[in-house]
A and B are shown apart, each in its own frame.
Chain A
Amino acid sequence: EPEVTQTPSHQVTQMGQEVILRCVPISNHLYFYWYRQILGQKVEFLVSFYNNEISEKSEIFDDQFSVERPDGSNFTLKIRSTKLEDSAMYFCASKTSGSYEQYFGPGTRLTVT
């Protein structure tokens, strides 16, 4: 069964450093998403991406964040200058145009020290 994959599974970085989280969505999906979950809290929407542009973003998704689909398979989330409060689990998700169900990846745990 096709699945969303994410790399790395765990990333440790120092405050102020740039990080790129990578996702490979399911191949025939057209909508892509990033969510984050701070430890012990609920899953929060960050951004949705369709037709090579951001279709919606949350208040969390400020100028420090950016997304890109650099080729036909990868979908990335970049944090330019990480802060301690960016420490969280980041989930990528994708879906087809004909369904409301999103398929979630296993997540990348980001630890900012």
Chain B
Amino acid sequence: AQSVTQLGSHVSVSEGALVLLRCNYSSSVPPYLFWYVQYPNQGLQLLLKYTSAATLVKGINGFEAEFKKSETSFHLTKPSAHMSDAAEYFCAVSENTGGFKTIFGAGTRLFVKA
């Protein structure tokens, strides 16, 4: 079964600093990977997705992620953090068999300091 591991349940950065949220996946076949953002008391918003077209994926709000097969990683980055980026971020992988369910990581809460 596929799984997703997010390193760091909490990450704190200063406004304007680089954001790096780590995600590693386990998959025996090419994965379909996603990053979602969740603001307090709200639903899941898709930030970006990897579906094997390009290893560097650009998403909304200035975020991007790089798929590295050799490291089984899909880390999320943003060059300059903004206060509005404070939220919970979930890395997820979609299975490509059976019901094609999505498996989520435990999430990383991003804090942005002024």
A residues contacting B by CB (< 8 A) are: 31, 33, 35, 41-45, 48, 50, 55-56, 91, 93, 95, 100-102, 104-107
B residues contacting A by CB (< 8 A) are: 32, 34, 36, 42-44, 46, 49, 51, 90, 92, 94, 96, 98-107
Which 9 residue pairs are nearest across A and B when measured between Cβ atoms? Answer: A48-B99, A56-B99, A55-B99, A100-B32, A106-B43, A100-B94, A43-B104, A104-B44, A45-B101
A-B contacts, 25 listed (Cβ < 8 Å): A31-B100, A33-B99, A42-B90, A43-B90, A43-B92, A43-B102, A43-B104, A44-B104, A45-B101, A45-B103, A48-B98, A48-B99, A55-B99, A56-B99, A91-B44, A93-B102, A100-B51, A101-B46, A101-B94, A104-B36, A104-B44, A106-B42, A106-B43, A107-B43, A107-B44
Query: How far is A33 from B42 in the complex, measured between Cα atoms in Å?
Result: 18
Contact B107 A102 (CB under 8 A): no
B52 → chain A closest CB, angstroms: 10
